[in-house]
Amino acid sequence: MKRFISVFFLLFIGCILIAGNAQAKAPQEKTSKQQTVKVEKEKAEKKARSAKATAKQAKTTTQKVNVNTADAKTLQTLPGIGPKIAEQIIQHREKQKFSSAEDLLQVKGIGEKNLKKLLPLISFR
């Protein structure tokens, strides 16, 4: 009987320790989930701000930019075009004028996504 009580007591203590350990981990898991949700929310907000900025920039540009004649400063008013890409556009058109939007894909730094943003804002003649 003493042996039974000793074993029972040890099992009881073990269960208490396991339950306490599980409770100690629960707040950490909750905090981790909260951090993940917070990071995802921040990413979504950043993406929304970027889309709003692109839309705002598109609205402020009333005339289309002719990529064959625009200077670097004017090219930089387009979304995704900074000084480096603007200079690359100018260097490319000095060798060969752009005749279509697809020609811009030959410029390093302009990909499909960037080209989609540019299409309503650019012209070639």
Phi, psi (degrees; rounded to nearest 5) at 10:
-65, -40
Rounded Cα distance, 6 and 121, in Å:
82
What domains, with CATH codes, occur in the chain?
A: 65-123 (1.10.150.320)
The residue type found at 41 is K
Whether the model pTM is above 0.75: no
Rounded Cα distance, 69 and 97, in Å:
9
pLDDT tens across the length of the chain (125 residues): 655 565 555 566 666 667 665 555 555 555 677 788 788 888 878 777 776 666 555 555 468 999 999 999 999 999 999 999 999 999 999 999 999 999 999 999 999 999 999 999 999 88
| Cβ–Cβ < 8 Å for 91, 109 | no
> How is residue 79 written in tokens?
């979304």
| Cβ–Cβ < 8 Å for 96, 74 | no
